[in-house]
Amino acid sequence: MQRLIDGYRRFRADTWPEARARFEELASLGQRPHTMVIACSDSRVDPAVIFGAGPGELFVVRNVANLVPPYTPDGTYHGTSAALEFGVRVLQVSHILVMGHAMCGGVTALLRGAPPEARDFMPAWMGIAAEARSRVLACMPVEQAQEACELEAVRLSLANLMTFPWVAQAVAAGGLTLQGAHFGVATGRLMLLGANGEFAAA
């Protein structure tokens, strides 16, 4: 905890004097982020750092393996879906980026099973991407499937986004674009999903 307090004190001493006007503007006028990023909770993959974004620019939701569940408006808990609803319908973001990454522990659990210490919630959550796993393992052995499954999970999440009626409506009206990406932790390289369904360097 002391590292966090030390970091906060550096923020107040070094960053706050220059950023104060921006934070005051955001407090006064509210947030109007242009892009929503759905990223993994992995500590190595921070969207604001990767994209050099400042306060108020990105509306970020992070979960295990950057998954978007299908539209299911029932009475249970839906953190990612609630964030989507707020981002699209209230903040009216113009872009949604689903960003996967290399060495994703959630995808490893999907392919090889969750670790024994993480079986209360992980298996059911990663079940969202069961179709991605099936598609990949139909083409290659599990030992070679990590990155392919990470990419396929991004494609699946983009498809699931279109099951939300207000996402599909905004896309059809031209007010919202959807994009997939994959970040290489060891390389720092970003790949974007193209119209041809393949990933290529940004």
Per-residue pLDDT of the chain in tens (202 residues, 90 and over written 9): 999 999 999 999 999 999 999 999 999 999 999 999 999 999 999 999 999 999 999 999 999 999 999 999 998 999 999 999 999 999 999 999 999 999 999 999 999 999 999 999 999 999 999 999 999 999 999 999 999 999 999 999 999 999 999 999 999 999 999 999 999 999 999 999 999 999 999 9
Output the CA–CA distances (angstroms, integers) from residue 60 to 28, 55, 57, in the order listed: 21, 11, 10
Q: Residue 115 belongs to what H/E stretch?
A: none
171-193: b (≥16 Cβ within 10 Å) or e: beeeebebbbbbbeeeeeebbeb
Please give the model's pTM, rounded to 2 decimal places.
0.95
Q: What is the homologous superfamily of the domain 31-201 according to CATH?
A: Carbonic anhydrase (3.40.1050.10)
Q: Where are the domains of the chain?
A: 1-29, 31-201
